[in-house]
C-alpha cells in the first residue's frame, strides 16, 4: 500500500524545507531574520512534526556555517524575538551554545523582561536550561542575552578577526515539559554521519 501524505503533513514538510533552505536575511544593521539558527516552538519526536518559530535576531554578527551546522556570534547584548504560528504552551527553554570566549563567560538570560538565568557560567560547547515561573500559553516571546565579550585577534596573534564577540548560539528550543528535550538532540549530526566517522577512525587505527 502506498503512503499518501495528508495536506497537513505536506504543508508542514514544505514549510520545514523552506525554512531549512532560508539563510538569515538582514532586516537592519545587526538584525537578521529566519532561520539560520533553528528555533523550535514545540518539541516533537519526528522532524516532520516539529514547529519552527519565526524569529528576528538583533545584536548578532552574520551567521557562520561550520561542519554542516549554522551558528551566530552575539555581541555583548542581543535580542531574539520569536513569533509562533499559533498559541504555544511553554515552560522550559534550552539555549544551545557552540562556543564561548577563552576561559568561559557568564551570561544573563531574560524572557519578556523577566530574568531567568543570572550570571550562569558557561565554557565552550554547552547547553543552558531555563524555566519560566509557570506554564504560559504564548504567541510570542522575546529573549535577551547578556554576556562578556572578547576579541579573537587579542588572544591569537595569527587571527585576523577583530570583531567583538560574546557567545556563539547554535540553537534554541522551547517545550512544555522538561523531559521532552535532551541536550543537543536536534543539533547533532545524523546517526549515519556519526557512525561513518566512528567507522573511519577505527579503520584508520587498524591500518
10 Å CB burial of residue 121 (0-12, 13-18, 19+) is exposed
Residue 89: which of 141, 12, 142, 47 has the closest Cα?
A: 141
Residues near 147 by beta carbon (within 8 Å), at least 6 away in sequence: 74, 76, 105, 106, 107, 108, 166, 167
- Cell numbers 545584536: residue: 59
Q: Is the peptide bond prior to 35 cis by the omega test (within 30 degrees of 0)?
A: yes
Which overall architecture, per CATH, does domain 7-206 show?
Sandwich (2.60)
C-alpha cell at 64: 557562520
Q: Report the b/e string of 6-34 with b at 16+ CB within 10 A.
A: eeeeeebeeebeebeeeebeeeeeebbbb
Termini Cα distance of the chain? 47
Cell of 138: 504564548
pTM, entire model: 0.70
Write down the residue that cell numbers 579503520 correspond to: 203
Per-position pLDDT tens, the chain of length 207: 333 444 544 444 344 344 333 334 444 444 445 455 777 776 665 666 667 788 888 999 988 887 777 889 999 999 999 998 888 888 999 999 999 999 899 999 999 999 999 999 999 988 999 999 999 899 999 999 999 999 999 988 888 999 999 999 988 888 888 766 666 655 555 556 656 767 777 777 666
Amino acid at each position: 500500500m502506498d503512503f499518501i501524505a495528508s495536506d497537513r503533513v505536506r504543508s508542514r514538510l514544505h514549510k520545514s524545507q523552506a525554512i531549512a533552505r532560508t539563510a538569515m536575511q538582514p532586516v537592519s544593521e545587526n538584525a537578521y531574520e529566519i532561520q539560520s539558527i533553528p528555533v523550535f516552538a514545540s518539541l516533537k519526536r519526528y522532524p516532520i512534526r516539529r514547529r519552527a518559530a519565526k524569529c528576528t535576531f538583533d545584536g548578532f554578527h552574520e551567521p557562520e556555517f561550520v561542519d554542516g551546522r549554522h551558528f551566530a556570534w552575539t555581541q555583548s547584548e542581543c535580542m531574539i524575538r520569536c513569533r509562533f504560528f499559533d498559541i504555544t504552551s511553554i515552560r522550559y527553554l534550552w539555549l544551545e551554545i557552540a562556543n564561548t570566549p577563552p576561559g568561559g563567560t557568564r551570561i544573563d538570560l531574560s524572557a519578556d523582561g523577566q530574568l531567568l538565568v543570572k550570571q550562569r557560567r558557561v565554557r565552550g560547547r554547552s547547553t543552558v536550561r531555563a524555566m519560566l515561573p509557570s506554564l504560559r500559553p504564548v504567541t510570542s516571546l522575546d529573549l535577551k542575552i547578556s554576556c562578556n565579550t572578547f576579541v579573537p585577534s587579542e588572544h591569537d596573534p595569527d587571527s585576523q578577526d577583530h570583531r567583538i564577540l560574546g557567545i556563539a548560539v547554535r540553537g534554541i528550543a522551547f517545550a512544555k515539559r522538561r523531559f521532552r528535550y535532551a541536550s543537543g538532540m536536534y543539533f547533532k549530526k545524523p546517526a549515519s554521519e556519526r557512525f561513518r566517522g566512528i567507522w573511519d577512525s577505527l579503520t584508520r587505527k587498524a591500518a
